[in-house]
Amino acid sequence: MKFIVDNWMLIAIVLSSGAMLAWPLVRGANAGSLTAQGAVHLINRQRAVVVDVRTPEEFATGHATGSKNIPLEQLEAKLATVVKNKSVPVLLMCASGGRAQRAVAAAKKLGYEQAQAIAGGLKSWKDANLPVEKA
């Protein structure tokens, strides 16, 4: 007991740093998001489908090669027509990753359990020197 009383500050630091390390696991940080390289791996190995959730105008300025465009507002209505097999990975992409995270929630609600957002969106895709095409 004397040890705890004498070293209460060190014990508090250890507990708080442990809690800070564990917090992302508890909260589920980066759940459903992956790197551009991880996306390429899923595309090549599991025939993942890349869905760009940006507007058609944004999509026309440049998009990942082979990606399909379904604006976020139309995702729930059109995803089933573009990706018929709900067991294949669906990789959602936008400009920087924010809209794609919202799209993951919508896709999972529709039954696409392997839906994931590409972290950093098209920006990280370009930064990884992956192919981009213009419409």
Question: Which residues have a catalytic role annotated?
Answer: 94
Q: Select from 126, 119, 122, 127 the least CA-distant residue to 33.
A: 119
Q: CB within 8 A of 71, min separation 6: which ones?
A: 53, 54, 55, 56
**Rounded Cα gap, residues 134 and 132, in angstroms:** 7
Token pair recorded at residue 83: 């990706």
- Residue 116 CB-density burial (10 A; 0-12 exposed, 13-18 middle, 19+ buried): buried
